[in-house]
A and B are shown apart, each in its own frame.
Chain A
Amino acid sequence: MSQRQVLQGVMSLLRPLLLDVVPTIQQTAALALGRLANYNGDLAEAVVKGDILPQLVYSLAEQNRFYKKAAAFVLRAVGKHSPQLAQAIVDCGALDTLVICLEDFDPGVKEAAAWALGYIARHNAELSQAVVDAGAVPLLVLCIQEPEIALKRIAASALSDISKHSPELAQTVVDVGAIAHLAQMILNPDSKLKRQVLSALSQIAKHSVDLAEMVVEAEIFPVVLTCLKDKDDYVKKNASTLIREIAKHTPELSQLIVNTGGVAAVTDCIGSCKGNIRLPGIMMLGYVAAHSENLAMAVIVSKAVPQLSVCLSEEPEDHIKAAAAWALGQIGRHTPEHARAVAVTNTLPVLLSLYMSTESSEDLQTKSKKAIKSILQKCTYLPALEPFLYDAPPNILKHVVGQFSKVLPHDSKARRLFVTSGGLKKVQEIKAGPGSLLQEYINSINSCYPEEIVRYYSPGYSDALLQRVDSYQPLAN
């Protein structure tokens, strides 16, 4: 506590220095305030409570560029901690002055002002709307076109923060023509700039189909796919986020992405990174496959399923596993061909173990259960189904046995295999309530085989035989 009091004492000492005659002292005092507020939220609150902001805002309009930079830094540091502090900044009329600073000649001033606006707009939709109402968006788009890389970065990040809250805000950003400039900058070699640009485009595209179509019309494909090969992990993540946001709206957009080879690029990207970076790529594959069976087949053809099963088994985090399980379920649920493609990679036992394990989170359990169910309902690949007879819980067993009962009456080789692999034995051992669906399936399986075999494999047959041996009287000759 005493440290805090000391710091607040410092605050009250710094405040009169802001009004000093010598401009260097003013600038340094402002810089000091900014650094203090940057470090801690309480100090930022102290800055607000100490009524320093109106003074800063007033002098922001008049002073030279070093002071403007320092004052904008203070505003940014205060505004980044919480929405209330940002609201306090907006209330003292800082937005108009910051927007005026955006028109300044010095790129450092523009950068500081854009940064402050970005941090303010980050918190919620009302603050974003306030920033937009102050007329910042056209100036930010002008800032993006400036030659300085740092300014471009900050402006792109500010646009991303503004457009992420609601479709109307994204529409405002689009109306100013931001998409064309952002799309041009994807080709820039600087990786931090690419991060921000891709993040901005994905925030715009995520809200509605029209916005996503507008982003696509800016001809980002196939240039975006080169970003998936970038060295920087966050560039890859943001690029796959962008592709995901576009793919999730309609089948036509997904089709477009598939036609440009996006699925292969995303699959390779998933293979080359670990952890949270993979997550948007995995979700993108799930979204594409969910739309229609042709797209799911296209995803399978792009060799995505082995990659996804690798993700499922390797990743330590539950939410990434849940995403992979969901994606596999979307791929396999359409037709037997799709289910076979998923089952061949031996993912079903993994999914089952995830479902059964008590350590997995609820989300993971529900998602793996849904995936298993949807794949099983179409799966006719019997070698993959057999392990399920042994381990599965009753509610899944029902579906497995049902699938067997659908396939076995028609395929003689499968019947033979079923017997030799011990599946028939296992089926006999299943206890099912009479009249239940499971019993019906078991009966239909039994009816595919001659009676002797069924009796042979029924439990307790050896005992019954021995009993017969005991009770048999040989014919007295």
Chain B
Amino acid sequence: MAKTSLSRLFTSLSEHSIAKLSFTSSRSESVNRSGYNSVTRFVCFSAQETQLIREERSNEGDREAAKENLESVNKEEDEGEDGDHVNKETGEVGGPKGPEPTRYGDWERNGRCSDF
């Protein structure tokens, strides 16, 4: 199953912001910042977070910051009536956060496959 453009957007954003922060990583990709200004509300919010985090510039903090960044991105998805997570693409209530479990055909959660 193909990732939707929205999730791809989140992923690419994460990559960009994390690449800036991961001093220990030797695999940083070049960041294209020209797209930042033309993006949606979600992306802008996260970009602001990224600005704050980058100012701290701590080696220790980069991984935590990456996590925070991802969490803030996830929080942007709507909360349902009873606080259940609602998936923006599929409308699923209380379902798994993150990438669609069946995107590559099998059923996976956090890397572990349980059905195929």
Q: Do A and B bind each other?
A: no
